[in-house]
Amino acid sequence: MSLTPDSSAPAARKIRSFVRREGRITQAQKHALQVLWPKYGLEADRPLDPGQVFGRKAPLTLEIGFGNGAALARMAADDPATDFIGIEVHRPGVGRLLLELERAGIGNVRVYCEDAVQVMQHCLPPACLDRLLLFFPDPWHKKRHHKRRILQPGFIESAASLLRPGGILHMATDWEDYAVQMLEVTQGSASFRNCAGTGNYASRPDYRPVTRFEQRGLQLGHGVRDLLFERT
């Protein structure tokens, strides 16, 4: 099963949903990546055993593309009975999250600094997730770049394989045309049921924090749409 948005493309030219931009990384973030990674980091060269990693059997949530980690840290702090895995390719955001986890004493989060496609395909065991979160993924707003959007039929197939029956796929975006694509692609899968009813968006659940990024978008008049789908 492939998560590559264009499954007909040659393997050597795999289309990615991200571009690695290192950006400005602080000395504190660099230090966190060196010193705290052994405590919180996960490597993508081996299968994941959640029970072994967290030392317990608990509900498991995966967030893909956690950005600076503010929402992930908040959700984990608010729900200590749940274990969380975050995936982010940009090292400054990973470093920032590691610092916050250590500062706040949050022990129920582990992190991949890797392509989500690789982690989903090669690391996570089937039906291991209770929730899969995809908040504000890169909209690749130019039409010629839409093929780079992570939300494609292959992604939905992979999400279905990782979620337990009754598990929740929760997406959010402030780009209207991307919200429409999310709705159409996910409703086109027999593996998911729209929790808000066919053709409808959901209200923001209390567990999803409103981030500063989202607040800026709201101030600019960007409508935010949440989509919740149950694994059938």
Residue in 49, 138, 174, 177 annotated catalytic: 138
* Cβ neighbourhood burial of 49 (10 Å; 0-12, 13-18, 19+): exposed
* Cβ neighbourhood burial of 229 (10 Å; 0-12, 13-18, 19+): buried
CB of 139 closer than 8 Å to CB of 178: yes
Catalytic residue check, 130: no
Q: Is residue 15 classed as helix, strand or coil in its secondary structure?
A: coil
Pairing of strands 129-135, 41-42: unpaired
Q: In what order do the strands lie in the sheet with 83-87?
A: 41-42, 109-112, 83-87, 60-64, 129-135, 163-173, 225-231, 192-194
Q: Is the dihedral of CA 43, 76, 176, 189 positive or negative?
A: positive
Structure tokens at 177: 């045309």
Q: What number of CA atoms fall less than 13 Å from residue 159's CA on the CB side?
A: 32
Q: Give the start-end residues of each E strand in the chain.
A: 41-42, 60-64, 83-87, 109-112, 129-135, 163-173, 192-194, 225-231
Q: In whole angstroms, give the CA distance from residue 91 to residue 206.
A: 28
Active site residues: 138
